[in-house]
Amino acid sequence: MPETFDSRPRFDTVLIANRGEIATRIQKACRELGLKTVVVYSEADRQAPYGKTADSALCIGPSSAAKSYLNKDALLLAARLTDAGAIHPGYGFLSENAAFADAVEKAGLTFIGPSASSIEAMGDKISAKRAMIAAGVPCVPGPDTALADDPAAVERLAREIGYPVIIKAAGGGGGRGMRVVPEAGLLQEAVALTREEARQAFGSPSLYMEKFLQHPRHIEIQVLCDTHGNAVWLGHRDCSMQRRHQKVVEEAPAPGISPDVIRPVGRACVEACRQIGYRGVGTFEFLYEDGAFYFIEMNTRLQVEHPVTEMTSGIDIVQAQIKVAQGDPLELAQADVRCEGHAFECRINAEDPDTFLPSAGIITSLAFPEGTGIRVDTHIHAGYKVPPYYDSLIAKLIVHAPTRAEAMARMREALVETRVDGISTNIPFLRALFEDGAFARGETDIHYLEQWLKQRRAP
């Protein structure tokens, strides 16, 4: 066993504070590492298959997420009752909640994620931007300070940056708390509205301003850091295919970006991790326009789209995350990271393929593709009842092939072979998207999918 300089205890049991496909994914990683798992579930998830394969399974509350998956006390009690030594928060729910990370550590358990102070620092977009500028990470033009109250100063700043600008809440998230301002006449009202929204939704009126980029792509860099000062980046992903700021299809690597262009950005991300003493996995999100990268935010958790990086890098990111939480040093240096081939991920959602309204109910039968370069991350099975209370993601279909064109062809075929009956899913929409010429040529930006949908709806 490697020597660890970490005072936190090693653990042999992990409580999974999440549900759905990611609960299955984390359980698999734990079992492969020889760790026991505790599954917690709401009353609506009583039937979840991962509960049956766990070493212990406990109901932590009613269907409402606020009373179950977001109930910190219930989760800590469940950990105590089952002798769990660590809590994996997955994504969403409490994964980026600094108070929860702190409470877990104060209870003498390991939070499988970064420290509460890292979560807090990156959760405030102004302090995150400041830390990135200090580490040499390129950011969107605009100051790393909060917007002044003085209307004349705000106007001067907007003129300096140049219209269009975007006003963003420092504590914003989930695509909320931001407003684009195309011209000076609309500035003061936009600031007032966003400030009020920020105060109500995020509990802080703090705002900042930056340049609004008109046709960017969304490109992100996956990092992995241990508690011994080692950090690596595991290549990049393109997540430009978004509907209402929600990612629909992700791929790795981002097409058409030369290694020479992305390398300094990856290095800067690693440097930023060292400077802030980051531990675990994390993602730096960038907008990419006209050959330049602009940092927008850091996600201090595992992401839904981590499998495309696993497929190209060959690294099990969830296992690596757990090992780091045990205090182990990274098993690889940057020179060992080699990304090969191309991977796509489709998010299969229980929703109407035309209206995108959620579709709950019983899955009567289903079929998933199998074979070389195909992976399906899911918790569903025939007879499974999709509850109406949570995110509509029911499965992730992931493919890997030597080239982007081959990976696209593999995904097209995989989507033809995928069938989920009894409820509506977005599979028909995904099939149509993978037939699109501009997407095949890699000529898309973050607005492309919305425009594509509008055109499809036009009579």
State the catalytic residues.
301
Nearer CB in complex with ligand ADP: 87/221: 221
Tokens of 169: 């809440």
> Largest Cα–Cα distance of the chain, in whole Å?
66
Of 210 and 377, CB closest to ligand ADP: 210
Strand partners, 59: 41
Cα–Cα distance between 7 and 80 in angstroms, integer?
20
Q: For residue 51, give both structure tokens.
A: 């509960």
Q: How far is the CB of 290 from ligand ADP (least distance, A)?
A: 13
Asked if 281 interacts with ligand ADP (CB under 6 A), we say no
What is the footprint of ligand ADP within residues 359-378 (CB under 6 A)? none
With CB under 6 A as the contact rule, the residue among 87, 232, 296, 339 that binds ligand ADP is 296
Interface with ligand ADP by CB under 6 A: which range of 152-160, 184-192, 206-214, 254-262?
206-214
Name the one residue in this structure whose structure tokens are 């290095």: 267
171-179, 267-275, 352-360, 401-409 -> range binding ligand ADP (CB under 6 A): 171-179
Stretch near ligand ADP under the rule CB under 6 A, chosen from 20-28, 31-39, 166-174, 395-403: 166-174
**Residue from 62, 136, 138, 173 binding ligand ADP (CB under 6 A):** 173
> Given the complex with ligand ADP, which of 140 and 221 has the nearer CB atom?
140
State yes or no: residue 446 binds ligand ADP (CB under 6 A): yes
| DSSP-derived secondary structure letter, 30 | H
Count Cα atoms within 13 angstroms, Cβ side, for 97.
Answer: 18
Instruction: Give min distance, CB of 9 to ligand ADP, in A.
Output: 34
Whether the Cβ atoms of residue 251 and residue 308 lie closer than 8 Å to each other:
yes
Q: Token pair of 152, please?
A: 């004349």
- Closest approach, Cβ 324 to ligand ADP, in A, equals 24
Cβ proximity to ligand ADP: between 174 and 459 the closer is 174
Question: How would DSSP label each residue in 440-455?
Answer: HTT---TTHHHHHHHH
Site for ligand ADP, residues 238 to 257, rule: CB under 6 A:
245
Give the shortest CB-59-to-ligand ADP separation in angstroms.
32
Closer of 58 and 131 to ligand ADP (Cβ): 131
Q: Which of 175, 383, 388, 402 binds ligand ADP (CB under 6 A)?
A: 175
Beta strand segments in 402-459, E: 419-421
What is the nearest approach in angstroms of ligand ADP to the Cβ of residue 340?
27
419 vs 427: CA distance, rounded Å: 8
Question: What is the residue type of 291?
Answer: G
Query: Closest distance between ligand ADP and the C-beta of residue 46, in Å?
Result: 32
Euclidean distance between CA atoms 299 and 1, whole angstroms: 31
- Pick the stretch among 165-173, 255-263, 306-314, 352-360 that binds ligand ADP (CB under 6 A): 165-173
Q: Scanning the structure block, which residue is given the tokens 């191309």?
A: 342
Q: Which residues contact 438 (CB under 8 A, 6 or more apart)?
A: 444, 448
Which one of the spans 42-50, 168-176, 184-192, 351-359 is the region binding ligand ADP (CB under 6 A)?
Answer: 168-176
**Closest to ligand ADP by CB, 17 or 287:** 287
Select from 25, 36, 88, 218 the one that contacts ligand ADP (CB under 6 A): 218
Q: What is the DSSP string of 299-322?
A: E-S--TTHHHHHHHH---HHHHHH
Of 322, 312, 320, 333, nearest to 398 (Cα)?
312
H-helix or E-strand spanning residue 116: helix 116-123
Residue 166 or 257 having the CB closest to ligand ADP: 166
Exactly one of 155, 285, 316, 352 binds ligand ADP (CB under 6 A); that residue is 285
Question: Considering CB under 6 A, how many residues would be counted as binding ligand ADP?
Answer: 18
Residue from the set 100, 111, 212, 293 that interacts with ligand ADP by CB under 6 A = 212
Contact 54, 27 (CB under 8 A): yes
- In the numeric block, the tokens 């409820």 are attached to 423
Burial of 92 (0-12, 13-18, 19+ CB in 10 A): buried
Of 161, 269, 165, 250, nearest to 212 (Cα)? 165
Choices 100-108, 173-181, 366-374, 384-392; region in contact with ligand ADP by CB under 6 A: 173-181
CA atoms within a 13 Å half-sphere pointing along the CA-CB vector of 300:
29
- Interface with ligand ADP in residues 76-135 (CB under 6 A): none
Which member of 52, 150, 174, 355 binds ligand ADP (CB under 6 A)? 174
- Distance in angstroms (rounded) separating the CA atoms of residues 339 and 413: 24
Interaction between residue 172 and ligand ADP (CB under 6 A): yes
| Contact positions vs ligand ADP (CB under 6 A) | 140, 166, 172-175, 210-213, 216, 218, 245, 285, 287, 296-297, 446
